Chain A
Amino acid sequence: GAVVSQHPSRVICKSGTSVKIECRSLDFQATTMFWYRQFPKQSLMLMATSNEGSKATYEQGVEKDKFLINHASLTLSTLTVTSAHPEDSSFYICSAAPLLAFFSYEQYFGPGTRLTVT
């Protein structure tokens, strides 16, 4: 149980185009989903917190107009990198907190999406 998937696992796009990454909780409902970015040999940096049915909360320094987040259902959140540039190339990872996890602090991670912008 508690599986989170991401699609695609790898994507290569040209500079200036937009890329959408999906994060799905397969066997549980997630009130909250998180999006992280990880550069090579570095730690995970939280980009934004996504709550179902409401606007995402972005961390300081993350451009909300560039990284569009939609959490339309309790099992799906999407991250769209708009007008991608080579510096956006990174490993994007999502995580999901189950609906009833308020007291258990559970958070499950997806396998990540490798974005390469050429």
Chain B
Amino acid sequence: GESVGLHLPTLSVQEGDNSIINCAYSNSASDYFIWYKQESGKGPQFIIDIRSNMDKRQGQRVTVLLNKTVKHLSLQIAATQPGDSAVYFCTFRGSNYKLTFGKGTLLTVNP
């Protein structure tokens, strides 16, 4: 079945450091992946996405890397700020627009 898992359930970093959040997936047929950020008591917020025909995509302070060979996805956040503290979910799109969410990684940024 479809599943998305995370290697690290919690991550604590110092302000200014770079953060890397990892994710493994099992469905090799997925062609689209999205990272979401969820702050406490709020809905998920889109961060960055990547299609399966790419292995890297960069946004503002964020980079997503996709390794289809080992079915691994990562989110890199540069110069992490206190406002980046949240739970981060990797997801992939299945049929009919359905999103499968991973368990989430809690990122804590220490000032």
Q: Can you list, as one digit per residue, whether each of A12-56 has a CB less than 8 Å from chain B (1) or not (0)?
A: 000000000000000000001010000000111110010000000
Q: How far is the CB of B23 from chain A (nearest CB, A)?
A: 12
Q: Does A67 contact B (CB under 8 A)?
A: no
Q: How far is the CA of A97 from the CA of B98 in the complex (A)?
A: 10
Please report which residues of chain A, range 82-118, place their CB below 8 angstroms from some CB of chain B when the two chains form the complex: 91, 93, 95, 97, 101, 105, 107-112, 114
User: Are the C-beta atoms of A44 and B101 separated by less than 8 Å?
Assistant: yes
User: Are the C-beta atoms of B44 and A34 separated by less than 8 Å?
Assistant: no
Count contacts on B: residues with CB < 8 A to the other chain.
21
User: Are the C-beta atoms of B44 and A93 separated by less than 8 Å?
Assistant: yes
Contact of A105 among B32, B43, B102 (CB under 8 A): B32
Across-interface contacts of B93 in A (CB, < 8 A):
105
Across-interface contacts of B98 in A (CB, < 8 A):
34, 46, 49
Across-interface contacts of A57 in B (CB, < 8 A):
96
Across-interface contacts of B44 in A (CB, < 8 A):
44, 93, 95, 109
User: Would you mind naming 19 contact pairs between A and B with Cβ atoms under 8 Å apart?
Assistant: A4-B43, A6-B43, A32-B96, A34-B98, A42-B103, A43-B101, A43-B102, A43-B104, A44-B89, A49-B97, A49-B98, A95-B99, A97-B97, A101-B97, A105-B93, A105-B97, A109-B36, A109-B43, A112-B41
- A→B interface (CB under 8 Å): 4, 6, 32, 34, 42-46, 49, 57, 91, 93, 95, 97, 101, 105, 107-112, 114
